[in-house]
Structure 1
């Protein structure tokens, strides 16, 4: 695990050496428990995974983001097996407290049993909807969500102590980033944002994302992060016709596709989608254009009700259009790929995410961003929208509207401001 986490606090790594993971996975072989992999621990009636023990390397990175210290009071949203709570209790001892909340009674019971088996008696596991937090023990110095969330719940922000920190795998139009926020005057300042992929929060706060199975035989599945309608039969029929091809003349690897490029495409358009299919199926819709090969073929692109444009896996990234609007969508997709490349391929380590209350005006956000930009004294980037290629003040993300030097992603309770340094 050490090889995959970089410069992580030694106290965090020490906690993993102290707290035995296999005790929190009693039905899993010990040698499997100590692999640096996520392990599914619960599925729903349809066989979809709904709970897991997260990959240890990702857990370490998020705990490092959280910045725990002895004496901290911590709220965890999503108990899982109890392993993460045990690690946190090790880091906040002596004098600290950990409260872990989960909506599933069986997971709560299992986490309590696992914690008792490990001799960790300083964690309080509560059966409740984590969206409400746990006001009885508030305020908390640190709050962490271990499930993917569409928005920051008001209760979490209300229960965060002044100067506290919250870490959450946050939906940014489809792609997730584990974002660490510090509570400051009037907003939550982003400290770091790391790529991640967590099972989504269930319940009323789950967000608009929908996942549909298009072909049961091959397991062809589409995920629409922003919801919307889809004509299943029309899409399947579109796959039977040769696609319209639009070459981007941009070369990428799969990490960039589902990293910086994926984020760019997701936040600049309303139709971002991902498709996957079983690699073991006798026939496949995706094998010739998949960007990831494991147990499932995987690709992504833009969708409309009856049409798709998907990313192909050629050395030079290609947009392939299917259906009545396939050519239109493929042209748009290829154009965005070129725009991302011209902008310097943003979306990696330079991403910053700040969160403001939903009532915050554009003018307040613009003023805040101007002050922060002056403080950082960053060198302006070449503006891809200017034909002379001169340096400009705009960031790579240029949505329509007044806020052309950043991207504002409006949620229900917050406005997320994405910028690149």
Structure 2
């Protein structure tokens, strides 16, 4: 089979870095990824890297073929079995739908939804070129799901979702499972959720990063293009004034060393600190691109007078830029030390409960609601019931307490352990 050796090398690489289930490995060995990214050299198609396939008018990426590592993780969380009916939110290139079709095997069926007609047509062409059957690709806002073929055994979103759409929960059958890159104040985690009475509870959680969902389920996150070549993006959990970030980054930095020898991989450190900041620091941000240590995601704190970012290469450093850079670097270093002292909690240790219904209505009924403050936890203000993304830590330290986050359609209760 054409480029079979490259697929074998990719799967071998993934298996050295993470757990990959046998069914997922077989699917990735069988489905030719290069046919789903025809403008990319075949050798490049089998690297463990995401491939951007579409940008908007301002240069922001809006569609891609996801990194194979996170695809393998999410497919493992999803647990598709032969004969399953699967709904995918975000068709993209069609590659993930092809993997789902292989996993669902004879008798299964996959429906993939995408909001852009050109993306849908492209996915259809790719699936046909690869000889994949059992997949239907439709153009529509994924927030509404596809009730005509409900109930589904599994539902997966391959775009970052700010909230869980009521239609998704309604269209999953008994014993159904949902896997989605769920937003937690700007940090995404791949959460595998199952129904537990009236609520949905996570069965596994993994770090991830996806382009955000567009349409009626669009969230509060913002993405600003700081530079185009080389690409540099600023991601915020909600729109706010941040000043001239490119000019600040051009200024000589102030550096504070948090730890002189850092053994953990930079990505692991970055994701752990980003999650900590999201739960503690209302001014937090993520810079995506190359800040001098290679491409990647870099968490930090940004204000109109400057920005501080984390560098984790050999040593762990808080690097401040701009007029307020020194102050922000000191504050970022303090957060990193607190995360370190707490045992470096990671996304995999999270437990997420989702309570469907309007947050204000749930509060009246005595259910979880946003509001309140906790001393030393970032100084968040009290929150009006139902206001999105303004919930606060409600008890204890982050490793023992919980965070209540009010969304439009659900209330999330998030904690470690």
Q: TM-score, normalised by structure 2?
A: 0.80
Which residues in structure 2 correspond to 1:19-418 (within 5 Å)? Answer: 19-214=31-226, 219-232=231-244, 235=245, 238-239=248-249, 243=253, 246-249=256-259, 252=262, 253=264, 254-276=266-288, 286-287=291-292, 292-294=293-295, 299-313=298-312, 316-323=315-322, 325-357=324-356, 358-359=358-359, 360-361=362-363, 364=367, 400-402=393-395, 405-418=401-414
List per-residue Cα deviations over 1:65-94 (Å, max 9, x = no partner): 111112211110011122211221222232
Alpha-carbon spacing, 1:238–1:65, altered in 2? closer, same or farther (3 Å): closer
Contact 2:395 2:402 (8 Å CA) reproduced: no
Partner in structure 1 of residue 29 of structure 2: 17
Alpha-carbon spacing, 1:121–1:173, altered in 2? closer, same or farther (3 Å): same
CA distance in 1, matches of 2:408, 2:252: 40
Runs of at least 5 residues in structure 1 that lack an aligned partner in the other structure: 279-285, 367-383, 386-398
Shift of 1:351: 2.5
Contact 1:223 1:275 (8 Å CA) reproduced: yes
Alpha-carbon spacing, 1:250–1:200, altered in 2? closer, same or farther (3 Å): farther
Contact 1:250 1:337 (8 Å CA) reproduced: no
List per-residue Cα deviations over 1:13-72 (Å, max 9, x = no partner): 222223332332333343333333322222333443322222233222211111111221
Alpha-carbon spacing, 1:64–1:277, altered in 2? closer, same or farther (3 Å): closer
Shift of 1:363: 6.8
Contact 1:186 1:356 (8 Å CA) reproduced: yes
For 2:276, what is the secondary structure of its paired residue?
helix
CA distance in 1, matches of 2:247, 2:128: 54
List per-residue Cα deviations over 1:370-402 (Å, max 9, x = no partner): xxxxxxxxxxxxxx99xxxxxxxxxxxxx6434
Runs of at least 5 residues in structure 2 that lack an aligned partner in the other structure: 1-10, 370-375, 378-391
CA distance in 2, matches of 1:241, 1:9: 47
Contact 2:275 2:347 (8 Å CA) reproduced: no
How many residue pairs match? The answer is 377
Contact 2:269 2:312 (8 Å CA) reproduced: no
CA distance in 2, matches of 1:220, 1:8: 32
Q: Which moved more, 1:299-308 or 1:340-349?
A: 299-308
Shift of 1:247: 4.6
CA distance in 2, matches of 1:128, 1:251: 50
- CA RMSD across the alignment: 3.0
Shift of 1:168: 0.6
Contact 1:170 1:178 (8 Å CA) reproduced: yes
